[in-house]
Amino acid sequence: MSSVKLFSGSSSRYLAEKIASSYGKPLGNLTIQKFSDGEMSPNFEESVRGADVFLIQSTFPPADNMMELLLLIDAARRASAKHVTVVVPYYGYARQDRKDKPRVAIAAKLMANLLSAAGADRLMTCDLHAGQIQGFFDFPVDHLDGSSILIPYIKTLNLPELIFAAPDVGGVARARRFAKYFNAEMVVCDKHRKRANEVASMQVIGNVEGKDVVLVDDMIDTAGTICKAAEVLKDKGARSVRAVATHPIFSGPAYERLEQSVLEEVVVTDTVPLTKQIEKIKVLTVSELFARAIQAIHDQESISSLFV
């Protein structure tokens, strides 16, 4: 059987080191030279010929992270790697997965085309913004579920009046999975936007009086929606409100909003690095999840056991 070689891009080194540690193998040697104008030139410092190469890199902004990953794929291909699997804990541009208005790009599909054109054989990712994005790829996609990290933590809280909430209509299916696992009720926060990242109004569908509410989302960006939802839920009589999400984008005023919000805590994973640490934020690691998935793929075994 071919050997496994793990390599990390620049943006996800913090997570790649934890994945490699959980897997029990050190990261491979890799250098990325940068020219004066910012142009990147990656170089594998060891042979990858005939190896199963796993390239770990989330594609959050800036776009350099995606470009670096594409160059790494190309370099591995040209160095005669047997298989090249891209491990993308957070798949950027996933929110642009359809034409929701005229004359816009479908960026999620474009990113898939680029990875395919560069020579990737497989994608491993976690909690895509929309599950159907898997269909944009012409090669296998291992779509891991962040709930296998978040649900065990929620269990430890032992909340007496647990109820789940979707912060918007698009998150209903995700919140329902959590509610079904705990045999709990769920409510929906129906929001109306004026423009991107700005919530105009919000209504709660369901009763939260005296309940311990857990808001479930795949990502938190500017935190406008999640903080507004928490505020409305509190106004409707919720005893406590906390949020769980896989991807902590936390851009713009997110940290300030979370600090000033009525949320008890915000539980996220380390698919995206935090730029600031505040008391309300708790970070769980996905390293063990990805390490086990890498092992299963290399051994050509099912990854079903990794799902809750």
Among 34, 180, 191, 234, the active-site one is: 191
Is residue 191 part of the annotated active site? The answer reads yes
Using CB atoms within 10 A of its CB, is residue 165 exposed (0-12), middle (13-18) or buried (19+)? buried
Which pLDDT band holds residue 214 (cuts at 50, 70, 90)? very high
Helix (H, G, I), strand (E, B) or coil at 110: helix
CATH 3.40.50.2020 fits 147-284, yes or no: yes
Residue 199, pLDDT > 90, answer: no
What lies within 8 Å, CB to CB, of 103 at 6+ separation is none
Q: What is the pLDDT of residues 63-111, one digit of tens each?
A: 999 999 999 999 999 999 999 999 999 999 999 999 989 999 999 999 9
Closest CA to 11 of 80, 81, 87: 87
Residue 190: the pLDDT is 84
CA distance 208 to 8: 44
Residue 193: the pLDDT is 60
Helix (H, G, I), strand (E, B) or coil at 233: helix
- Look up residue 266 and give its two tokens: 């915000």
Q: Are 224 and 173 in contact (CB under 8 A)?
A: no
* One-letter amino acid for residue 268 of the chain: V
Residue 166, pLDDT > 60, answer: yes
What are the CA-CA distances from residue 219 to residues 81, 167, 173, 208, 238 (Å)?
A: 33, 11, 15, 23, 23
Residue 238, pLDDT > 90, answer: yes
Which pLDDT band holds residue 197 (cuts at 50, 70, 90)? low
Chain position carrying tokens 């479908």: 106
Cα Rg of the chain, angstroms: 20
Element (H, E) at 256: helix 254-260
Which pLDDT band holds residue 305 (cuts at 50, 70, 90)? confident
Please report how many Cα atoms fall inside a 13 Å half-sphere around the Cα of residue 60, on the Cβ side: 19
CATH 3.90.1150.10 fits 4-145+287-306, yes or no: no
pTM: 0.93
CA distance 94 to 109: 8
Residue boundaries of the structural domains of the chain? 4-145+287-306, 147-284
In degrees, rounded to 5, the angle at the alpha carbon of residue 146 between the alpha carbons of residues 124 and 98 is: 65
Which pLDDT band holds residue 221 (cuts at 50, 70, 90)? very high
Residue 195: the pLDDT is 63
Please report how many Cα atoms fall inside a 13 Å half-sphere around the Cα of residue 111, on the Cβ side: 29
Identical topology for domains 4-145+287-306 and 147-284: yes
Least confident of 200-204, 215-219, 248-252, 304-308: 200-204
With b meaning 16 or more CB within 10 Å and e meaning fewer, what string describes 67-101? Answer: ebbbbbbbbbbebebebbbbbbbbbbbbebbeeee
Across all residues in the chain, what is the average pLDDT?
94
